[in-house]
Structure 1
Amino acid sequence: MSDEQPGPLTVDQRRAIFKALVDAQDGGAGVAASRTTVAGKFEVTEDQVRDIEREGMAQQWPPLG
């Protein structure tokens, strides 16, 4: 996995990551494990996943809203 991203993630990409994170946690994965899994799946860092998680919760992205 590369530390470099070709550019900023789009809103659609961030929403997909957020949905995958919520789905993983709803499926029984712990918070830390779900972040690690989703980061690997989408080839982003766990810090990016945390930022996306905060953004999604603040804006009530699906599946929350």
Structure 2
Amino acid sequence: MSAKPDEISVEQRQIIFKALVEAQDGGLSVTASRTAVARQFSVTEDQVKQIEREGSDNQWPPL
């Protein structure tokens, strides 16, 4: 799914964000969680960072 962040559907970005939050809640560091989620969803860590910001800004679940 190597796409630009704006080419990833909102639904998929929300799924990625949820996985990121759950990884961090599960004890992974921010850096490790970004790496793991990027691999899991075949996106770049930069895309994960952008999705992380978007999710935080918009209070996406599970926040």
Q: How many residues align?
A: 62
Higher relative contact order, structure no. (Cα contacts within 8 Å, ≥ 6 residues apart): 2
Cα distance, 1:5 vs structure 2: 2.5
Aligned to 2:41: 42
- Who wins on radius of gyration, i.e. which is larger? 1
% identical aligned pairs: 61
Name the amino acid aligned to 1:39: A
Moved over 2 A (4+): 4-7
* Separation in structure 1 between the aligned mates of residue 52 and residue 10 of structure 2, nearest angstrom: 13
Structure 1 residue 5 and structure 2 residue 13: aligned?
A: no
Output the aligned Cα RMSD: 1.8
Aligned to 1:18: 17
Question: CA deviation digits over 1:42-64, x for unaligned, max 9?
Answer: 00000000000000000000000
Q: TM-score, normalised by structure 2?
A: 0.92
Q: TM-score, normalised by structure 1?
A: 0.89
Name the amino acid aligned to 1:53: E
Gaps of 5+ in 1: none
Gaps of 5+ in 2: none
**Hey, which of these two has a bigger chunk of helix by percent?**
2
